[in-house]
């Protein structure tokens, strides 16, 4: 192997070190492959550095502050509660992000995965060019996994800058804004709106559809909307079209249209969260002969293989939900296939979570989608008002709902709204994936008092033998 004009030979190459890429690299190494991972920015990708992880840290910090201000129902009255937001940001970066990304880098090295810093470009189906600063190197590879993730979409009239920001910018603000306009009330917009609203920011959400977080059922979203309006003072404008934003010094004026009327709202910042675009446009995929489909997504089969047999793609780069846990799952499949194992994407249950107040989580079918699929089902909804742990948390807003077949009570879907829904959904994901029925859950002893007991209560309700309702 000679560095310079000659290509360096590699075995398996993973492009991108996010939750799809680093998991694929480690699994491939565990299976005996010699693996190289290429990352142009920071190890851990968007999720660990400027996405899932730091946003949850900021959300949690907002909860601590908001709860400190509103502890009177417990008989706790705190005085002079202040926020040192610089320290909050330092904690988020140093104690959360850096520790986690450092841990991922350690795991890669422990598994003997070579890390290359630089931006990768395909030259052909077996050759990559990696550019890092002023230097460049050519590599020949046997197999490649594209795990390049996605980036925020910039829309016309809202050019990103100091006052018009994307989610990355929102996570790095130097101070708590007095006012913020959020364009797009989906997962990211609603989560960050809630985080800053808990810190005291006056939030206005402008959403193009009829409800925020449109991928969740209306009765779940209604709980979030009520919390936004009643507890956080958030203004929600639905069926609205954002037209433009004009920056005047340290203020930004957002113009939008709703019900045929043109209106404006002014704030310190305008956060644009209208979706993400796959990072597949500057990879040279066409030189490798890889077919790229609609919206820049790479077409793959059930094994993650593109139309070029030795090139695979996973995560946000391929069709399907843009979820970190989906990317990790697909990364394992691709790594196993390259190792000769008969793996393929065959999951039944893919959970989805939104970290709002209350948290929302869903897996499998809703009652509506089950009926549309031709299943004869019923929905059993147990309110958290009947759960002792929820009462002790003063967090009884929400429910656990099971969607089960009428004939044999097989659980085909579930929805959870309430505290720790992101954790409660795990048991139900296992139930759907494993084809369990409500009796399997009802016969399982659940610890008391716990939020998970609501899952057992919902199962007993589905069986027609409820105890606590």
- Contact status, residue 24 vs residue 332, Cβ threshold 8 Å: yes
Query: pLDDT by residue (tens digit) across 357-372?
Result: 999 999 999 999 999 9
Instruction: Give 291-330 pLDDT, tens digit per residue.
Output: 999 899 999 999 999 999 999 999 999 999 999 999 999 9
Helix 324-338 with 21-30: angle, nearest 10 deg: 30
- Residue 85 domain-assigned (yes or no): yes
Domain shared by 146 and 283, yes or no: yes
Domain assignment present for 156: no
- pLDDT 10s digits, 376-411: 999 999 999 999 999 999 999 999 999 999 999 999
H or E element, residue 220: helix 218-231
User: Are the CB atoms for 379 and 370 separated by under 8 Å?
Assistant: no
Q: How many whole angstroms separate alpha carbon 260 and alpha carbon 392?
A: 47
Rounded average pLDDT over 255-277: 97
On whether both 263 and 229 belong to a single domain, the answer is: yes
* Confidence at residue 79, expressed as pLDDT on a 0 to 100 scale: 84
User: Do 142 and 56 fall into the same domain?
Assistant: yes
Q: Residue 344: is its pLDDT beyond 60?
A: yes
* Structural domain that includes position 327: 8-151+277-338
- Arithmetic mean of pLDDT, 180-201: 98
Active site residue 448: yes
* pLDDT bucket at 5, cuts 50 / 70 / 90: low
Residues 6+ apart with CB under 8 A from 457: 382, 386, 387, 400, 466, 467, 468, 469
φ, ψ dihedrals at 285, nearest 5°:
-60, -35
Q: Which of 18, 34, 112 is nearest to 314 (CA)?
A: 18
Task: Specify whether 412 is located in the same domain as 377.
Answer: yes
Mean pLDDT for the stretch of residues 198-211: 98
**% pLDDT > 70, the chain:** 99
Q: CB-based burial of residue 83 (10 Å sphere; 0-12 exposed, 13-18 middle, 19+ buried)?
A: middle
CATH number of the domain that residue 323 is part of: 3.50.50.60
Q: Which tokens go with 310?
A: 């030795």
Is 393 in the same domain as 287? no
Q: Which of 66, 132, 448, 468 is catalytic?
A: 448
CATH of residue 418's domain is 3.30.390.30
Residue 59's pLDDT is: 98
Across the chain, mean pLDDT equals: 97
Is residue 1 pLDDT above 60, yes or no?
Answer: no
The string of DSSP letters for 290-334 reads --B-GGGPBP--TTSB-SSTTEEE-GGGSSS---HHHHHHHHHHH
Do 376 and 405 contact (CB within 8 A), yes or no? yes
- 3, pLDDT greater than 50: no
Tell me, yes or no, whether 241 and 269 share the same domain: yes
**Strand runs (DSSP E) across 96-172, as ranges?**
114-117, 119-124, 127-132, 135-140, 143-146, 150-152, 164-165
Structure tokens at 272: 């644009």
Of residues 214 and 79, more confidence is placed in 214
Tell which of 274, 293, 316 closes a domain: 274
> Is residue 197 classed as helix, strand or coil in its secondary structure?
helix
**CA–CA distance, 216 with 222 (Å, rounded to integer):** 10
Q: Give mean pLDDT, residues 450-455.
A: 98
Q: What is the pLDDT of residues 47-98, one digit of tens each?
A: 999 999 999 999 999 999 999 999 888 999 888 899 999 999 999 999 999 9
Task: Name the phi and psi angles at 460, rounded to 5.
Answer: -65, -35
Are residues 114 and 169 located together in one domain of the fold?
no
Question: For the chain, how many structural domains are there in total?
Answer: 3
* Same domain membership, residue 269 and residue 281: no
Which of 123, 151, 122, 111 lies closest to 23 in space, CA to CA?
Answer: 111
Q: Is 315 contained in some domain?
A: yes
- What pLDDT is recorded for position 4? 52
């Amino acid at each position: 192997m000679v560095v310079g004009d000659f290509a360096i030979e590699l075995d398996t190459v993973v492009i991108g070190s996010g939750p799809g890429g680093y998991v694929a690299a480690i699994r491939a190494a565990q299976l005996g492959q010699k693996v190289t991972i290429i990352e142009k920015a920071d190890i851990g990708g968007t999720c660990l550095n400027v996405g899932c992880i730091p946003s949850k840290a900021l959300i949690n910090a907002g909860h601590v502050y908001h709860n400190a201000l509103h502890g009177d129902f417990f008989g706790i009255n705190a005085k002079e509660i202040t926020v040192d937001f610089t320290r909050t940001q330092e904690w988020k970066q140093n104690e959360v992000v850096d520790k986690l990304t450092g841990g991922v880098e350690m795991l890669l090295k422990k598994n003997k995965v070579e890390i290359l810093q630089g931006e990768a470009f395909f030259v052909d189906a077996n050759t990559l060019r990696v550019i890092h600063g002023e230097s460049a190197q050519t590599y020949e590879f046997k197999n490649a996994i594209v795990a390049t993730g996605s980036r925020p979409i910039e829309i016309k009239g809202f050019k990103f800058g100091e006052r018009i920001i994307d989610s990355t910018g929102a996570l790095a603000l130097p101070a708590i804004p007095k006012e913020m306009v959020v364009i797009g009330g989906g997962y990211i917009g609603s989560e960050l709106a809630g985080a800053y609203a808990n810190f005291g920011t006056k939030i206005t959400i402008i959403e193009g559809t009829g409800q925020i977080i449109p991928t969740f059922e209306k009765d779940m979203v209604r709980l979030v909307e009520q919390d936004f309006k009643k507890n956080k003072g958030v203004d929600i404008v639905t069926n609205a079209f954002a037209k433009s934003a004009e920056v005047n010094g340290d203020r930004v004026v957002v113009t939008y249209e709703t019900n045929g009327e043109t209106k404006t709202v002014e704030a310190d910042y305008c956060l644009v969260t209208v979706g993400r675009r796959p990072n597949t446009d500057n990879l040279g995929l066409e030189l490798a002969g890889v077919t790229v489909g609609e919206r820049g997504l790479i077409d793959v089969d059930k094994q993650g293989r593109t139309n070029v047999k030795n090139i695979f793609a996973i995560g946000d780069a391929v069709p399907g939900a843009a979820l970190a846990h989906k990317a990790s799952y697909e990364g394992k499949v691709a790594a196993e296939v390259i190792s000769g194992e008969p793996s393929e994407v065959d999951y039944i249950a893919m959970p989805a979570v939104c970290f709002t107040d209350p948290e929302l989580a869903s897996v499998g079918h809703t009652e509506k989608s089950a009926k549309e699929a031709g299943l004869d089902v019923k929905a059993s909804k147990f309110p958290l008002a009947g759960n002792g742990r929820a009462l002790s948390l003063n967090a009884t807003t929400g429910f656990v709902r099971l969607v089960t077949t009428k004939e044999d009570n097989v659980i085909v879907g579930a929805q959870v709204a309430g505290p720790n829904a992101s954790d409660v959904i795990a048991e139900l994901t296992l139930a759907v994936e494993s084809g369990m029925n409500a009796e399997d859950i009802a016969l399982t002893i659940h610890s008391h008092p716990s939020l998970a007991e609501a899952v057992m209560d919902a199962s007993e309700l589905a069986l027609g033998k409820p105890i606590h309702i």
